[in-house]
Homo-oligomer: A and B are copies of this chain.
Amino acid sequence: MDKLTGDEIVRLFLALATILVAARVLGEVARRLAQPVVLGEILAGILLGPTVLGSIAPSFKEFLFPSNGPLALSQHAFRTLAIALFLLVAGMEVELSTIRKRGRAALSVGFMGIALPFVLGFAAARYAPDLLGARSGVSPETFALFFATALSISALPVIAKTLMDLHIYKSDFGMTVIAAAVFDDLIGWLVFAVILGQISYGKGGTEHLPIGLTIAVTAGFAVLMLTAVRWLIHRTLPWILAHASFPTGVIGFALALALVGAAFTEFIGIHAIFGAFLVGVALGDSAHLRERTRATITEFVSSMFAPLFFGSIGLSVNFITNFDPLLCGFVLAIACLGKVVGCGLGARAAKMNWRESWAVGFGMNARGAMEIILGLLALQYGLIQEPMFVALVVMALATSMMSGPIVQWLLHRKRPRRIEHFLHSRTFVPKLRASDRKSAIDELCQTLARASGLDYARISTAVWEREQVTATGIGNGLAVPHARVDGLRHPYIAMGLSDQGVDFDAPDGQPARIVFVILTPPNDNGVQLEILADIGKTFVQPDVRDRALKLKSFTELLALLRTEPVPA
């Protein structure tokens, strides 16, 4: 039997580990800069591919990511599986009920969000094919159709993430945007599936399948998946939950279904991902799919398969030699123009005010992952050339990067402030020495003064004066002495843990074992409440308090705060 040799297994594992680590690290850097994680993941691939590693250490690049041979084949197999599973998860995020609920407004935004970019893209490709680098072997109509579709599609995951970060996902505004994006994605992928069907039949040497038939088969499959199969899945899930092991049974069912769906769409000539995506939509729609199961699939796929796929994008293309600034600028400009104006007008037509309408436009403008997948497929199928692929990737990343900040600015939304943003290693005291209220406050104020250069006497007096008005023990072993202090530009927080406990006159009579000193600027009314609410919600959970009392370092404290979901 054909097998990988020991040497190839070593290289395969090292290559997978390298992509995972590089994609994760750069993804985290992107996140730190308030950018989408996928940006960093793609950058990792660019660094590991021909663009950078391939040009400074070509033999090392070939060692890990060879272009030919058994290893190249195996890596391609992994990538193909990875993208199918990523699309399964992306599909699971779609909520069909959302589309129904916000139907009219979403339809208006969604339709205009497809129509204008499509028309602009089609026109550009027809009248300036050379500028866009159309290939001679591809029919101008097909190329124009592809380019128009590429501009029309949205990036559901990026859009959803942006809205969640701003805490407006579940608002009417958020649901309208999401519903419109779902609508655009379904239509966009459908059109793209038709294009692929056209090309792959052409490439196979056989006659083109009549375009009507391709549309019929694709649309028929989509409708079948979203009606009969969706219903069937909804009926089957309780049976699986009742009779198979949990959760392995239902996860196995989801994975097998995605693979079969992917195999089917690949078989009829449209790409595997379309089938996996539709399986995801159908599956995710069932109320019988437990939250916990959904989370397990999403978390594992996002940890392993998503970085593996996005980290591989840069491996096949040189992003420097194929970078054409004019092309990139042109693509970016008409992409933004079409989507922002189209969706903005659609939102206006649905009676939103101008500010909200523009926010909808910029929210929908994010292309992110989906765009890049589309570009990669087009490149593989010979529909476009490398420079166009690079331009699409640049456009996808640029639109995703600008989306969050602009929406935030337009809607005057602020990201909610949490304690962790104002805690520092130097203001965390794992062992308070103080045994009474006054000296506990003094001890933490000293720490704050030392770490930040604030005047010790001034802040400790302010906190103590406030404390004497009403004691700040809030029960459950927590105390939150605080004060507004003139001249602060942002809040300052110190946190201390006390073994023996300090009496802060709490309603439940318990001594405080976790003490926060909170200083806020006097002109920012909201921030004090936000921080107090965050402390309350986080530490109301008994096991969080228990674990907090065992903390030994600031890093452990951050780990606790960032891994404990705050109940809504």
Binding site for B on A (CB under 8 A): 1-4, 6, 9-10, 12-14, 16-17, 20-21, 24, 27-28, 31, 37, 67-70, 72-74, 76-78, 80-81, 84, 200, 237-249, 251-253, 255-256, 259-260, 262-263, 266-267, 269, 272, 288, 290, 295-297, 299-300, 302-304, 307, 316, 553, 555-560, 562-563
A249–B303 alpha-carbon span in the complex (Å)? 7
Q: Smallest CB–CB gap between A278 and chain B, Å? A: 14
A80 near B252: Cβ-Cβ < 8 Å: no
Q: Kindly list chain B residues whose C-beta atoms are within 8 Å of the C-beta of A272.
A: 9, 13
B73 near A4: Cβ-Cβ < 8 Å: yes
A316 touches which of B1, B10, B14, B555 (Cβ 8 Å): B1
Q: Kindly list chain B residues whose C-beta atoms are within 8 Å of the C-beta of A557.
A: 242
A28 near B303: Cβ-Cβ < 8 Å: no
B555 near A238: Cβ-Cβ < 8 Å: yes
With known contacts A241-B559, A245-B28, A247-B303, A73–B13 Cβ distance under 8 A: no
Q: Kindly list chain B residues whose C-beta atoms are within 8 Å of the C-beta of A259.
A: 13-14, 16-17, 20
A304 near B251: Cβ-Cβ < 8 Å: yes
Q: Kindly list chain B residues whose C-beta atoms are within 8 Å of the C-beta of A553.
A: 238
With known contacts A14-B259, A245-B28, A296-B300, A239–B555 Cβ distance under 8 A: yes
Q: Kindly list chain B residues whose C-beta atoms are within 8 Å of the C-beta of A6.
A: 200, 266, 269
A299 near B247: Cβ-Cβ < 8 Å: yes
A562 touches which of B246, B297, B300, B556 (Cβ 8 Å): B246
Other 19 A-B pairs with CB < 8 A, given A1-B72, A251-B304: A1-B76, A1-B316, A2-B69, A3-B73, A13-B262, A13-B266, A13-B272, A16-B81, A20-B255, A24-B253, A27-B245, A28-B249, A37-B245, A74-B77, A238-B553, A242-B559, A243-B558, A247-B299, A255-B303
Q: Kindly list chain B residues whose C-beta atoms are within 8 Å of the C-beta of A200.
A: 6
A267–B17 alpha-carbon span in the complex (Å)? 15
A70–B260 alpha-carbon span in the complex (Å)? 20
A80 near B263: Cβ-Cβ < 8 Å: no
In the complex, which residue of chain B has the Cβ closest to the Cβ of A236? Answer: B555
Q: Kindly list chain B residues whose C-beta atoms are within 8 Å of the C-beta of A70.
A: 73
In the complex, which residue of chain B has the Cβ closest to the Cβ of A556? Answer: B238
In the complex, which residue of chain B has the Cβ closest to the Cβ of A551? Answer: B238
Interface residue SS majority, chain A: helix
A316–B288 alpha-carbon span in the complex (Å)? 38
A27–B238 alpha-carbon span in the complex (Å)? 19
B263 near A24: Cβ-Cβ < 8 Å: no
Q: Smallest CB–CB gap between A328 and chain B, Å? A: 24
A395–B502 alpha-carbon span in the complex (Å)? 63
A299–B248 alpha-carbon span in the complex (Å)? 6
B563 near A290: Cβ-Cβ < 8 Å: yes
A76–B8 alpha-carbon span in the complex (Å)? 11
A17 touches which of B263, B269, B300 (Cβ 8 Å): B263
A247–B14 alpha-carbon span in the complex (Å)? 22
Q: Kindly list chain B residues whose C-beta atoms are within 8 Å of the C-beta of A253.
A: 24
B303 near A563: Cβ-Cβ < 8 Å: no
Q: Smallest CB–CB gap between A535 and chain B, Å? A: 18
- What are 29 A-B contacts defined by CB distance under 8 Å? A1-B72, A1-B76, A1-B316, A2-B67, A3-B72, A4-B76, A9-B263, A9-B266, A9-B272, A10-B267, A12-B80, A13-B81, A17-B260, A17-B263, A21-B256, A24-B249, A24-B252, A28-B249, A74-B77, A237-B559, A239-B555, A241-B558, A241-B559, A241-B560, A242-B556, A242-B557, A242-B559, A248-B302, A300-B300
A256 near B296: Cβ-Cβ < 8 Å: no
Q: Smallest CB–CB gap between A294 and chain B, Å? A: 11
With known contacts A9-B272, A256-B20, A259-B13, A563–B247 Cβ distance under 8 A: yes
